[in-house]
Structure 1
Amino acid sequence: MNFEDNEHLAPNMYYDRHFEKEAVKIMPGEYYVTTGDKLIVTVLGSCVAVCLRDKVTHCGGMNHFLLPNDGSNESGLLTESARYGVYAMELLINHLLKLGASKSRLEAKVFGGGNVLRGLTLNNVGQRNAEFVLDYLHNESIPIVAQDLLDDFPRKVYFFPDTGKVMVRKIKSVHNTTIFDRETEYRMRVKYTPKSGDVDLFT
């Protein structure tokens, strides 16, 4: 990982003609950070995305992740399932700190956790993801200045790190199964990924 670059991961870059801006689309399991004037875009179903921004340096980033179902009814940050969310959050925060952000100045906007994956309603996948994000940010003393969680619709999220602005569009008419297939494939990939060692929580 080369922190000397101002941006990382998320190889899907394009020019957004509507906003007339260079844009990056992040997929499930990815994240992106920048100190520049780029737009970060993602589409969420049951997954959640956290937009973090240093309100002084204006560097910011977004992740996109989902907790695998570990078969446990436990809650909190210590379950095996939650470790994936902790890891996703640490990647994003650590990279922002490398770019000059201060954790004490970070503000969060959180989105997603919709009940959109067919057959997974009983597992409350979206709700578990939403609860994890809220608990994690509370425990890390990172204020949430905006949120749009749960509901039954996928969302398209546009994050402008330089200004902190976020635009959310609910996708109430889905014409294909792309979102569902993408998140289901990602969920299975995460579920069967070998578990790594313990993750250090921020203090």
Structure 2
Amino acid sequence: MNSVAPGSVASHHYFDRDVGSMAVKLLPSEYYVTTTDTVLTTVLGSCVSACLVDIDNGVAGMNHFMLPDDGDASARDQTESMRYGAYAMDVLIRELLRSGARRERLQAKVFGGGAVLANMTTLNIGDRNADFVLRYLRAERIAVAAQDLRGPYARRVCFIPSSGKAVVRKLRGQADVQTIQQEENELLRKLAAPRATAGTVRPNSIAIGDTGLLVKNKGTS
């Protein structure tokens, strides 16, 4: 496997007041592996994050991917490939093992896959992401210790590597949901643009037109 582009490693370090600790925030297409007590956080809509940990060896990591599988990762630059679950999971596991984790000791906690993208329910992106990550971990024989997948809401995930504990907060506020909708729609628009320009769609790819990317503001309690 090729090396990972530097931009794929999360770089937003900050002090998280909720947990009283230094933290790293992951954006879509990023991952992070640590052997310290640095907390890992992310915000998810239809995207999915896998949190993997080897408690005995003190190695943990998280990723954040947008779509389940590319089908042709070799045709894309490495940062873009991190948007896809198959590549993002491969990279996360590889970097965990490089940092001292043992594959047979890895445990996973997985989150996200919410139905938050307006007018895109027919694509079932959140469901596809959720199905993919569970199928991938089952194939790799990595135990899933906890999961919070699907549902009509976004999530904020806080993963504490030192204990393997994950704290999930459901984001139900209208402003939170609209922000996530706009961010994910913009990312999907950028993802679809090269395919529209090329005029071809591979069998396993997703083609998204302008109509499917429009966000209707819906009240959320």
Give the TM-score taking structure 1 as reference length.
Answer: 0.82
Give the TM-score taking structure 2 as reference length.
Answer: 0.75
In percent, how many aligned pairs have the same letter? 47
Cα deviation 1:67-103 (Å, max 9, x = unaligned): 17xxxxxxxx7x7289821100011111111100011
Q: Secondary structure of 1:80's partner?
A: coil
Per the alignment, residue 185 of structure 1 pairs with: 186
Q: Give 1 or 2 for the bigger CA radius of gyration.
A: 2
Cα deviation 1:157-179 (Å, max 9, x = unaligned): 00001110000000111315321
Q: How does 1:1-203 map to 2 (within 5 A)?
A: 9-67=9-67, 80=71, 84-175=84-175, 177-191=178-192
Structure 1 Cα separation of the partners of residues 29 and 39 of structure 2: 18
| Matching residue's letter, 1:62 | M
Structure 2 Cα separation of the partners of residues 26 and 15 of structure 1: 14
Q: Which has the higher helix share?
A: 2
Per the alignment, residue 215 of structure 2 pairs with: none
- In the TM superposition, residue 191 of structure 1 has moved relative to its aligned partner by 4.1
CA distance 1:44–1:95, shift in 2 (3 Å): same
- In the TM superposition, residue 192 of structure 1 has moved relative to its aligned partner by 5.0
Structure 2 Cα separation of the partners of residues 95 and 190 of structure 1: 25
Q: More relative contact order in 1 or in 2 (CA 8 Å, sep 6+)?
A: 1
Structure 1 Cα separation of the partners of residues 162 and 186 of structure 2: 32
Name the Cα RMSD after superposition.
2.2
- In the TM superposition, residue 193 of structure 1 has moved relative to its aligned partner by 6.3
When the two structures are aligned, how many residues end up with a matched partner?
A: 180
| Matching residue's letter, 1:112 | G
Structure 2 Cα separation of the partners of residues 162 and 130 of structure 1: 26
Kept after mapping to 2: 8 A contact 1:67/1:81: no
Q: Secondary structure of 1:162's partner?
A: coil
Range with bigger deviation, 19-28 or 182-191: 182-191
Structure 2 Cα separation of the partners of residues 193 and 37 of structure 1: 40
Q: Secondary structure of 2:46's partner?
A: coil
CA distance 1:44–1:138, shift in 2 (3 Å): same
Range with bigger deviation, 101-110 or 82-91: 82-91
Kept after mapping to 2: 8 A contact 1:29/1:186: no
